[in-house]
Amino acid sequence: MDIQSIKAYCKDPQNRSTVNVGLFILLIISFHFLYLGWQALGYWPIGKLVYSLMVWSVDMVYSQSCWVLDHIFHIDITTVSEQRLIATPNKEGGWARVIIAPECASLKQWMHWLFLMILFPGPWKHKLWYIPMGLVIIEWTNVIRICGVLMMQIPWPHSFHLAHDYIFKLFFYFIIFLMWMIWVEKFYNPTLTKTKQDE
């Protein structure tokens, strides 16, 4: 298969969904490895800025999660602000708890979203509001994730790794995928259709 065949395949409207999903997967995987490499380099050349943003992001998601657990779910929580720890009694008389480390903040997912949406095709007049809206949704998805990880441990005290590593991590990326799907269906594909009609 030569370059011309690939271009023809990509331009064929019948292959649009396959091409879009393939590009989504390529961008997500590319960012993952680029981020790991950048992390290994200490986020050079803006390491200090990234680390300060991580601290800010951790503080924000910590305070938001505490507020949601207290005011919405009315869970009696104990907090240790210096460790960004949130705890509550579980059904066995022990403690359900989460510690919000820098890796738990939304910063990586924000970067993921920016990378995906800046590079994925589509009209910039909509990207200018859709990207910031996505950042806000990602932040509150992270709050739901942290609250969910804690709350699952109340009835199921040994569920931390299941909740943290699988259920809510998949939930997080499902939300990003869902936002991308809405972008493709509501903004990108209609633009392509309009361009074809204008030709």
Contacts of 63 (CB under 8 A, 6+ apart): none
* 140 is a domain residue: yes
* 38 is a domain residue: no
* 3 is a domain residue: no
Instruction: Please give the tally of structural domains in the chain.
Output: 1
* 77 is a domain residue: yes
* 151 is a domain residue: yes
- Separation of alpha carbons 69 and 53, rounded Å: 24
Integer CA distances (angstroms), 110 to 92, 138, 173, in order? 37, 7, 12
Quick: pLDDT tens for 167-189.
999 999 899 999 999 999 999 98
How high is the pLDDT of residue 196? 53
* 172 is a domain residue: yes
198 pLDDT band, cuts 50/70/90, is low
* 175 is a domain residue: yes
Query: What is the span of the domain harbouring residue 134?
Result: 45-115+122-186
* 176 is a domain residue: yes
Quick: pLDDT tens for 46-88.
999 999 999 999 999 999 999 999 999 999 999 999 999 999 9
